[in-house]
Structure 1
């Protein structure tokens, strides 16, 4: 009984600290709206803002390229040659690639 009495005495003397500690743990980590979840959501929002900036930059680059294609017919020819390996009738195309080193499985 003395052991139980000492535990009860400890709880009575530190009851306010125990309640405060339990509340901090509940609000900080255990609750659905906890501080920990709030920090994780902030991090996720920041990652999404970075993605938005990346996609806006890609959109602006593509729009500049599209405007250039509308104005300059030589740009269409350049893209056709670089991306799709198209050629004029009097030309030959040589494709140099180093894919052999990358495709080997060791």
Structure 2
């Protein structure tokens, strides 16, 4: 107990504790802010990965359309539901069952 009182009376120990508390809770870069920044970075990284995959998919489709003109009609029918004048198009949408 006496040792604890001596430690609490030490001005250097008190300065270090005050500095640590200030940096952890009151500074503009406190622990809560760092956690929020890290969560935002993870979210942005996931978005970046998603858009990178989408860009690769679109580039693949573009290369396929540029190389083969027969695929243009197929692409227009599947992606944009285009049809010829004398045709009817039926779109079937599957409902996903919720468990």
Question: TM-score per shorter chain, which class?
Answer: 0.5 to 0.7
Q: Within 5 A, what are the aligned runs for 1:1-106?
A: 14-16=8-10, 19-97=15-93
Q: TM-score, normalised by structure 2?
A: 0.64
Tell me the SS of whatever aligns to 1:37. Answer: helix
User: Structure 1 or 2: larger helix share?
Assistant: 1
Q: 1:7 maps to which residue?
A: none
Q: TM-score, normalised by structure 1?
A: 0.61
Aligned residues: 89
Query: Structure 1: which 5+ residue stretches go unaligned?
Result: 1-10, 100-106
Q: CA RMSD in A?
A: 2.8
**How much has 1:61 moved relative to structure 2?**
0.8
